[in-house]
């Protein structure tokens, strides 16, 4: 099931209005926010050519384990890069002339590339929150919205459906809960949905539960990680 294990989705979404710095803590998913695993910082800047984002994940000793950069124009992806020193991997995704392009470099410098025709909404961490904000009213109206998530290491897009599944109150603040579920029944039977909580007042991401980019060291081996990511908001 390597295909399913490689559907790595990082929800370190750019949340800028002009220029902003956001931080978060990644907790063990079953620890009720008591066991810290990683931290992350996100810097976002709105410029003439779009929203630029820079994300850095650190372990608890402050060592950088994953870095991401992104460029989006509104909710349209223009460019996204990822570097994961943990596994000596790099990925680059960009759109041009109606296609989405993938470039991948693995351990030892081995390179691969691919492309596909854009068919629907392409999402990465760089443009995810902008997409949520644009479709906020549709989510609240109960609409299920199909998207194509660009998976950097698979060099392809994968179909998901985003749906509002409830309202919540988190630390006295109103929020909506979105669920991101694979559109394929086969994949959906194996892959757990991603759950995201957005604050109603400013449509910022508060909490995400699901697969993240850093790997976790388990008995000397790096393993895929599902975590609870809690964002620090004003």
Q: What is the pLDDT of residues 42-68, one digit of tens each?
A: 999 999 999 999 999 999 999 999 999
DSSP string for residues in the chain: -HHHHT----------SSEEEEEEEEEETTTTS-SEEEEEEEEEEEETTEEEEEEEEEETTS-EEEEEEEEEETTEEEEEEEEETTTTEEEEEEEETTEEEEEEE-GGG-EEEEEEE--S-EE-TTTHHHHHHHTHHHHHTT--EEEEEEETTTTEEEEEEEEEEEEEEETTEEEEEEEEEESSHHHHTTSPPEEEEEETTT--EEEEEEEEEEEEEETTEEEEEEEEEEEE--
151: closest CA among 139, 142, 160? Answer: 160
pLDDT of residue 176: 99
Q: What is the rounded CA–CA span in Å between residue 186 and residue 125?
A: 25
Please state, in angstroms and rounded to a whole number, the distance separating the CA atoms of residues 64 and 84. 9
pLDDT tens, residue by residue, 139-156: 999 999 999 999 999 899
C-alpha span between 89 and 104 (Å, rounded):
8
Give the tokens for residue 221. 């081996």
Does residue 13 surpass a pLDDT of 60?
no
Q: Are 224 and 15 in contact (CB under 8 A)?
A: no
- According to the model, what pLDDT value does residue 2 have? 41
Domain coordinates in residue numbering, the chain = 2-232
pLDDT tens for each residue of 82-103: 999 999 999 999 999 999 999 9
Confidence grade of residue 163 (pLDDT, cut at 50, 70, 90): very high
Residue 1 pLDDT: 37
pLDDT of residue 157: 94
Query: What Cα–Cα distance (Å) separates residue 10 from each residue in 67, 110, 218, 227?
Result: 11, 23, 20, 10
77 vs 185, higher pLDDT: 77
């Amino acid at each position: 099931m390597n295909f399913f294990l490689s559907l790595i989705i990082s929800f370190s979404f750019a949340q800028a209005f002009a220029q902003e710095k956001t931080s978060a803590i990644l907790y063990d998913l079953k620890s009720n926010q008591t066991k810290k695993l990683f931290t992350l910082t996100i810097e976002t800047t709105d410029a003439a050519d779009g929203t630029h984002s820079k994300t850095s994940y650190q372990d608890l000793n402050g060592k950088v384990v994953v870095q991401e950069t992104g460029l989006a124009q509104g909710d349209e992806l223009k460019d996204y890069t990822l570097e994961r020193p943990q596994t000596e991997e790099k990925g680059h995704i960009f759109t041009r002339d109606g296609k989405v392009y993938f470039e991948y470099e693995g351990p030892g410098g081995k390179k691969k590339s691919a492309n596909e025709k854009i068919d629907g909404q392409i999402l990465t961490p760089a443009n995810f929150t902008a997409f949520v904000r644009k479709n906020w009213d549709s989510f609240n109206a109960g609409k299920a919205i199909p998207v194509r998530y660009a998976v950097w290491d698979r060099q392809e897009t994968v179909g998901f459906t985003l749906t509002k599944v409830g309202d919540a109150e988190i630390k006295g603040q109103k929020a909506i809960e979105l669920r991101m579920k694979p559109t394929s029944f086969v994949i959906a039977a194996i892959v757990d949905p991603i759950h995201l909580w957005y604050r109603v007042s400013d449509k910022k991401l508060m909490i995400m539960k699901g697969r993240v980019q850093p790997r976790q060291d388990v008995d000397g081996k790096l393993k895929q990680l599902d975590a609870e990511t809690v964002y620090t908001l004003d």
